Structure 1
Amino acid sequence: MALRITVIGTGYLGAVHAAGMAELGHDVIGVDVDERKVDTLNAGRAPFFEPGLEPLLAKHVGSGRLRFTTSFAEAGEFGDVHFLCVGTPQQPGSRGADLRYVDAAIDALAPHLQRPALIAGKSTVPVGTAERLAARLAAKAPAMEEVHLAWNPEFLREGFAVEDTLRPDRLVLGVTSRTDAAVLERVYAKVLQAGTPLVVTDMPTAELVKVAANSFLATKISFINAMAEVCEAAGADVVELSQALSYDERIGGKFLRAGLGFGGGCLPKDIRAFTTRAAELGAHEALNFLREVDEVNMRRRSRVVDLVRELLGGSVLGAKVAVLGAAFKPSTDDVRDSPALNVAATLHLAGSQVVVHDPEANANAAAKFPTLSYAATAAEAVAGADVVVLATEWEQFTSMDPVELGQQVEYRRIVDARNALDPQRWADAGWAYRGMGRPAPTATIPASVERLIAATPSGAVPQLPAVTATAYDRVAPAPTLA
C-alpha cells in the first residue's frame, strides 16, 4: 500500500531518495528552501550529475507521483512519513558536525505536524542527535506525542546512488517502538521482498552505523596509502602488495588501492565529526587512530605535488601542468574536498600554469577555484603540457592511448595519482611515469632495436624505425625547465 512521503532536503541524498521512493510506489513531495533547485526538479531535471537520476525524476514528475515545493506547511499536511535528508557539513573552524540545517528543518516542519506522523532521519549525525531532536519535536509539534522520530541511515555511493536506493545492501532502522519499525517496513516493502537484510535497533546504534562504516572504509584506504609510503622508501610495489593482501578473505581487495586518497562530502568530515563526538562522550582515546587516518590521507595530496616537482627537476614554477580530473571520484560532479582540485590549486599557488579538465565537474570546480584554467576536452588540457597528472580515474582517462597523447604534450611526463594506468605501457611509449608507491618503470627495448643499436658505429646515432621512434626518444633523461 502506497504511503504519502515527504523528503526534506533535495541535495545528493534527498533528490535521489525522493525519486527512489516514487519508484517504489509512493506519492512523494520533496522540500527545499532553494527555489531554483525546486523549479529544476519540478521540470524533471537533476541539479547535479548522478547516473540514472534524471530519467527517474522525469518519469515520476511526469506521472504526478513526485513533486517538489518550498512549503513546509504543504509537506506537513501531506506526509505520513517525513525523511530528513539535509546536509551535516563540517563546522567552520572545528572538526565537529554543523547541525544547524538539521535543527532548522525540524523547526520548520514541526509546527505543521497536526496529525500522527513519523520523522525518519537519514542525515549522518553525531550519536545522541536523535534523542535531542525527539525532544525538540515534542516541544514544537501540535500533535505532540503522536509525532515519532526514527533513524534510518543512508549508505549511498555517489555514482551509484540510484542503485543503492532501490537495491541497498542493507536497511538499518533505529526506532523506539515496534509500531515505528512497521511503518518503515511498509515504506521499504518492495526492497525487503527482494531479500535486502534488515537490522532493527535503537536510535544510538543506528546513528553510529554510518559513521562507523565510513571510518572503517577511510581506515582501509589510509592503510594501503601508508603502505605506499613504506613501498616508496623500500623500493617495493604497493599494487603488487595490495594484490597479495586481497587474496586473504579476511582482508579482501575492495578499498585497497593506493592513490591520491579519499575526499568528497562524507568520509573526511564524518571521521572528524566522529572523533569530536567521541571526545565529548569521554571516549576520545578509542578513536585517536582516526586522526592518523586523516593525516595519512592528506599526505597523499602533498606527495602528488612532490612527484610533479620531481619530474620537473625540482621546481614547478612556470611549468604547464594538465590535471585530468576535478571531481573527488569518477561518475559524479561533486568537488567537495576533492583531492584532485586540492592538487591543482596547490600547483597553481606554487607558480604552475594549471589547466584542469573533468568530464562533468568543470563548472563546479570553476565555481570553487575560479583562478584555475579549465579546458573543455582532455586534448585541450594536455596540449603543450610539461606534465600530465591523472587525478580522477574517469574511464576516458584510464583508457587514453599513451602514444597518441604523447604527440599532444610538450614533454612526456605523467603522474598517475590513482595508480590506474599500466606503467610499462606508458614507459614503452616514451613517458616518464610516476605512480603512488610504485617503482618508476624503464622502457623495454625490443631485440630488433637492440640489434640496430649494437650494429651502429661508436659515436653515431642509430636510425630507429619510425614505428618505434616515439617509444625511445625519451630514453635519455627528459629536459627540465629552466
Structure 2
Amino acid sequence: MKISVIGCGYLGAVHAACMAELGHEVIGIDVDAAKIALLAEGHPPFFEPGLPELLLSASASGRLRFSTDVAQIAEARVHFVAVGTPQLEGSNAADLRFVDAAIESLLPHLKPGDLVVGKSTVPVGTAARLVGLVESTGASLAWNPEFLREGFAVKDTLAPDRLVYGIAPGDVTAEALLDGVYASALAAGSPKVVTDFATAELVKVSANAFLATKISFINAMAEVAEATGADVTQLADAIGYDARIGRRFLNAGLGFGGGCLPKDIRAFMARAEELGVDQALSFLSEVDGINMRRRERMVDLAREVVGGDVAGKRIAVLGLAFKPDSDDVRDSPALDVALRLTELGADVVATDPQALETTRRRAPQLVTVASAQEAATGADAVLLLTEWREFRELDPVALASLARVPAIVDGRNCLDPVQWREAGWTYRALGRP
C-alpha cells in the first residue's frame, strides 16, 4: 500500500520505517528540514535500538523516503498523523496545535476514498471534532492509538500486542484499509478491537493511567516500608504472585517520567474536568503526587549518606534518561534529581550511556562525563538513577577503589544489597531497610 506519515518525531519515524519494512511504500513528512535530512541518511535524531538499521534497509529498498513537501503525499491512500501532543504551557491540558496543523496540511491533498489515521495521543473528543473536516474531502477518518515502549518501539510496531481501530459507524472501507496496512500483524495473531472514536482515544490514556497508578501504588508502599522497616522489593514479590495483580510494573524506585506517562495522565485529568467528571479521575492527582515525592526522597537519601548536607560534596549520578535503552530526558526523574542536588550546592558529576547529548541540550549547566568509573572517581556518594544494564553489572569492588567514600543509593532497587555491602559499600535504597 502507499502510505504517508505526517510528523517524523519518535512515533512517526518508527512507524514510517516499520511500515516500509512490512512492504508498504512510505513517504514521511515533517516541517523540520534538519530532521528529514538525518532520517533520509538513516540517522534518527534520537536513540532507539534497531531503528537505524531499519531506516537504512527500508531506504535502500526504495520503499521509504522523507520530505518536507506535504504535496508529495498525493499518491498515498492511507495517511497517518503522528505528531506530538505536548503538555500545554501553564496548563495540564494537551497542546493540539500540531494535530490541527497536520490535518489542515492534509486537506488540500486528500482524495475520495483516502483514509486519515490518527496515531497521536489526544484528549477524547478530538476525532469527533476533526471528522467533519476530513469527510468534507471525501476521505474517511480513523483513530489508531499507538502503544510504543521506548527501547522496544520497533518490536511493538512490527508485532503489536493489540490493534485498536476507532472508526465511524459502518465505515467498512476504513476497517478494510487498516486491515491491509496491518495484514502481517493480523496474520501473526495480533488481536484487533474495532470500536468508536471515543473509545479508541480513551484506550491509550486509560492504559497509561493504569500503569502510572500501579507504579505509584508500589511507591506508596515503599513510603510505608521505610516507616516500618519492611522491604518493598520482597513485598512486591509476594503480592505479585497473585494473578489478579501480577509482578510487572511493581518495581518501587524513583518513579516514572518521559514524554508520555506524566503529560498523558495530566491531560486526562484536564479533559475529565472539561467533561464535568473530574471527580472520577481525582485519584490521578495523588498518583502524580506520589511520583514526584520519590524525587524528593531520593534527594533526602543523598543528604543522609553524605552526613546531612550535600553542599560541596562530590556526587556521582549514574543515569540521566528517564528509562534505559533511551536517550529521552523529558520529565526524567534522574535528571530532575541531578539538577536538584546541583541547586543545593553539590558537585554533581553525571553519566549515561546514551543521554549525554540530550542532557547537554536541556541542562547545559550539569557536568557530564563518559563513564560510571569517571563519575565515581573521588565521589562522596554514588546515586544509581537509571537502571541501565551497564550500571546493574558494575563491579562493586572495582568501583569502591575509585570512590572517596563508598556509599551508594540505589534509586531503582536493581542492585544486590548483600554483594555491595560485602564489597564495603554503605547501601541505601528507596523502600528498603
- TM-score by length of structure 1 reads 0.89
Alignment match of 2:151 (pick from 159, 177, 182): 159
Q: Measure how far apart 1:48 and its partner are.
A: 1.1
Q: Secondary structure of 1:28's match?
A: strand
Q: Secondary structure of 2:428's match?
A: strand
One-letter code aligned to 1:99:
L
- Correspondence for 1:116: 113
One-letter code aligned to 2:362:
K
- Correspondence for 1:355: 349
CA distance in 2, matches of 1:12, 1:72: 19
Gaps of 5+ in 1: 139-143, 440-482
Percent identical across equivalent pairs? 61
Single out whichever of 320-329 and 38-47 deviates more from structure 2. 38-47
Question: Is residue 80 from structure 1 mapped to residue 77 from structure 2 by the alignment?
Answer: yes
Alignment match of 1:323 (pick from 313, 317, 324): 317
Question: Is residue 311 from structure 1 mapped to residue 311 from structure 2 by the alignment?
Answer: no
Q: Is the 8 A contact 2:111 2:137 kept in 1?
A: no
- Correspondence for 1:6: 4
- Correspondence for 2:54: 56
Alignment match of 2:326 (pick from 307, 324, 332): 332
Question: Is residue 244 from structure 1 mapped to residue 220 from structure 2 by the alignment?
Answer: no
Alignment of 1:229-378 (within 5 A): 229-378=223-372
- Correspondence for 1:411: 405
CA distance in 1, matches of 2:410, 2:185: 40
CA distance in 2, matches of 1:193, 1:114: 29
Q: Can you list the C-alpha shifts for 1:344-385, whole angstroms capped at 9, x where unaligned?
A: 000000000111100000000111000010001111111111
Q: Measure how far apart 1:79 and its partner are.
A: 1.3
CA distance in 1, matches of 2:112, 2:139: 8
CA distance in 2, matches of 1:145, 1:364: 41
CA distance in 2, matches of 1:305, 1:23: 45
**Higher RCO, Cα 8 Å, sep 6+:** 2
One-letter code aligned to 1:112:
H
Q: Measure how far apart 1:115 and its partner are.
A: 4.1
CA distance in 1, matches of 2:54, 2:318: 30
Q: Can you list the C-alpha shifts for 1:186-235, whole angstroms capped at 9, x where unaligned?
A: 11011100000000000100000000000000000000000000000011
CA distance in 1, matches of 2:100, 2:309: 49
Q: Can you list the C-alpha shifts for 1:376-399, whole angstroms capped at 9, x where unaligned?
A: 111111111111000000000001
Q: Measure how far apart 1:94 and its partner are.
A: 0.3
Q: Can you list the C-alpha shifts for 1:17-46, whole angstroms capped at 9, x where unaligned?
A: 001101111000000001011011111222
Question: Is residue 27 from structure 1 mapped to residue 25 from structure 2 by the alignment?
Answer: yes
One-letter code aligned to 1:132:
R
CA distance in 1, matches of 2:374, 2:102: 44
- TM-score by length of structure 2 reads 0.99
Q: Measure how far apart 1:137 and its partner are.
A: 2.9
Q: Can you list the C-alpha shifts for 1:260-313, whole angstroms capped at 9, x where unaligned?
A: 000001100000000110111111110000000000000000000000000111
Q: Is the 8 A contact 1:19 1:66 kept in 2?
A: yes
Alignment match of 2:63 (pick from 65, 71, 93): 65
Task: Let me know the Cα RMSD of the aligned residues.
Answer: 0.8
- Correspondence for 2:41: 43
Q: Is the 8 A contact 1:44 1:62 kept in 2?
A: no
CA distance in 2, matches of 1:217, 1:55: 31
Gaps of 5+ in 2: none
Q: Secondary structure of 1:173's match?
A: strand
Q: Can you list the C-alpha shifts for 1:416-458, whole angstroms capped at 9, x where unaligned?
A: 000000111111111111101000xxxxxxxxxxxxxxxxxxx
Q: Secondary structure of 2:238's match?
A: helix
CA distance in 2, matches of 1:338, 1:224: 19
Q: Is the 8 A contact 2:107 2:137 kept in 1?
A: no
Q: Is the 8 A contact 1:28 1:65 kept in 2?
A: yes
Q: Is the 8 A contact 1:49 1:360 kept in 2?
A: yes
Q: Secondary structure of 1:146's match?
A: coil
Return the index of the structure with the highest Cα Rg.
Answer: 1
CA distance in 1, matches of 2:205, 2:320: 26
Q: Secondary structure of 2:65's match?
A: strand
Question: Is residue 127 from structure 1 mapped to residue 119 from structure 2 by the alignment?
Answer: no
Single out whichever of 231-240 and 36-45 deviates more from structure 2. 36-45
CA distance in 2, matches of 1:220, 1:78: 45
